[in-house]
């Protein structure tokens, strides 16, 4: 009831509302690839930074639920910061037994993490009404964000080192199995219809933590992108490699360069959160970057006045509360659409091939 009231009356006492969104839009090019014929083979919801129980999150969740009732969806990607502010509780009884297997990414088999009430508040309630093609619960695949493995300041845990705190939190999220929560590991590859999603732990692009290494992350990306010349492959991670938001680019320059060298010519696009807004950018190397990070915490005063790193370009940005929809056709064509929590299209682009780029184009009507 509270969620419905907040969405219907955004300026009521229960919800301060998003205000008038700030947006930037580059001029549309003279032409774009023709819309792919027929229905897409795959439709994916993209939303990040969903993990706080706010009225913004209520509004975005209702908007996503409405979208899944109006069109066939196959899965969602939650692009990190799944449990604000610090991630799951590593001090719960039984959490100490969580460990990673030899690959350092998947949780050791047979382990069942303790029940943590933070999950329901931060995530489960937000995705409970999302539906798949069959009308069942939509699979939501998770990405690790910085708040999910936090260990400093107020997120420090007595008697646990920072390294153990971050590692244990990552393990607890990777080992969780619940309706609306799927995670193949700290990093993993997901094949869905004609597309592949390579999910990375971008905390390691900022700095090492938990005993993990950036070199292992790059090696995984290299292996997971094998064969991506022939089909659309999307790199999903929390921290974007380009941004016009106030977070800027958190990646260490050498680690960002190493990642971009691995994905160049193979990844159709980066899918990210972290900045609490919606953005479409393009790296200097020509790879599209989509930021869908306005799930529960907005930055209404964002001006998008500086694009990082040098050479990257901004095609669209908005502070509107919302999410994105990625559509992929069997031919390898794909398209992306940003819309606000009320279902209004904000920005759309189309790619005629697996490799991109996604060219901004007028938005077509949403499926009825």
Q: What is the pLDDT of residues 316-349, one digit of tens each?
A: 999 999 999 999 999 999 999 999 999 999 999 9
Instruction: Give the separation between CA 81 and CA 272, rounded to whole angstroms.
Output: 11
In tens, the pLDDT along 50-65 reads 999 999 999 999 999 9
Res. 12: pLDDT tops 90: no
- What is the residue whose two structure tokens read 């196959």? 74
Tens digits of residue pLDDT in 340-364: 999 999 999 999 999 889 999 999 8
The position carrying tokens 């004609």 is 194
Residue found by looking up tokens 């979208």 in the block: 67
Q: Are 173 and 118 in contact (CB under 8 A)?
A: no
* pLDDT value, residue 368: 56
- Give the rounded distance of the alpha carbon of 246 from its chain centre: 18
Alpha-carbon separation of residue 198 from 74, 164, 218 (angstroms): 17, 26, 11
Residue-level pLDDT at 10: 42
Is 60 exceeded by the pLDDT of residue 218?
A: yes
Cis peptide before 209 (omega within 30 of 0): no
The mean pLDDT value of the chain amounts to 93
What number of other Cβ atoms are within 10 A of residue 268's Cβ?
A: 28
Bridge partners of 157, per DSSP, are none
- The whole-angstrom distance between residue 351's C-alpha and the CA centroid of its chain comes to 20
Read off the pTM.
Answer: 0.95
> Which band of pLDDT confidence, cut at 50, 70 and 90, is reported for residue 228?
very high
Q: What is the pLDDT of residue 1?
A: 44
Inter-residue contact 136 to 179 (CB < 8 Å): no
Other Cβ atoms closer than 10 A to 7: 19
Cα 151 to Cα 130: distance, rounded to the nearest angstrom? 31
Whole-number CA gyration radius for the chain: 19
Q: What pLDDT, in 10s, does the model give residues 276-315?
A: 999 999 999 999 999 999 999 999 889 999 999 999 999 9
Cα–Cα dist 282/360, whole Å: 12
């Amino acid at each position: 009831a509270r969620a419905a009231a907040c969405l219907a009356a955004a300026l009521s006492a229960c919800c301060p509302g998003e205000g008038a969104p700030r947006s930037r839009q580059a001029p549309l090019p003279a032409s774009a690839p023709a819309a792919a014929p027929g229905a897409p083979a795959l439709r994916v919801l993209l939303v990040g930074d969903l993990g706080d129980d706010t009225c913004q999150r209520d509004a975005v969740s209702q908007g996503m639920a409405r979208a899944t009732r109006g069109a066939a969806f196959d899965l969602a990607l939650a692009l990190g910061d799944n449990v604000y502010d610090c991630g799951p509780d590593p001090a719960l009884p039984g959490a100490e037994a969580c460990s990673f297997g030899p690959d350092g990414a998947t949780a050791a088999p047979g382990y069942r993490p303790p029940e943590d009430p933070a999950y329901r508040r931060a995530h489960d309630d937000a995705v409970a009404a999302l539906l798949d093609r069959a009308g069942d619960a939509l699979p939501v695949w998770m990405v690790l964000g910085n708040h999910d493995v936090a260990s400093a300041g107020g997120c420090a845990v007595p008697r646990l080192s920072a390294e153990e705190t971050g590692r244990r939190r990552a393990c607890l999220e990777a080992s969780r199995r619940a309706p609306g929560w799927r995670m193949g590991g700290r990093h993993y590859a997901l094949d869905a219809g004609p597309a592949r999603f390579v999910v990375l732990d971008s905390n390691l692009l900022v700095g090492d933590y938990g005993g993990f290494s950036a070199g292992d992350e790059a090696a995984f990306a290299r292996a997971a992108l094998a064969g991506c010349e022939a089909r659309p492959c999307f790199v999903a991670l929390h921290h974007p490699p380009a941004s016009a938001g106030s977070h800027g680019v958190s990646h260490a320059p050498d680690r960002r360069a190493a990642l971009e060298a691995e994905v160049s010519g193979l990844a159709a696009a980066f899918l990210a959160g972290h900045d609490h807004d919606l953005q479409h950018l393009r790296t200097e190397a020509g790879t599209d970057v989509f930021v869908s990070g306005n799930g529960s915490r907005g930055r209404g005063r964002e001006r998008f006045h500086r694009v990082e790193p040098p050479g990257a370009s901004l095609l669209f940005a908005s502070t509107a509360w919302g999410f994105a929809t990625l559509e992929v056709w069997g031919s390898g064509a794909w398209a992306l659409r940003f819309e606000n929590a009320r279902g209004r299209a904000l920005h759309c682009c189309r790619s005629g091939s697996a490799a991109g780029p996604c060219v901004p184009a007028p938005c077509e009507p949403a499926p009825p």
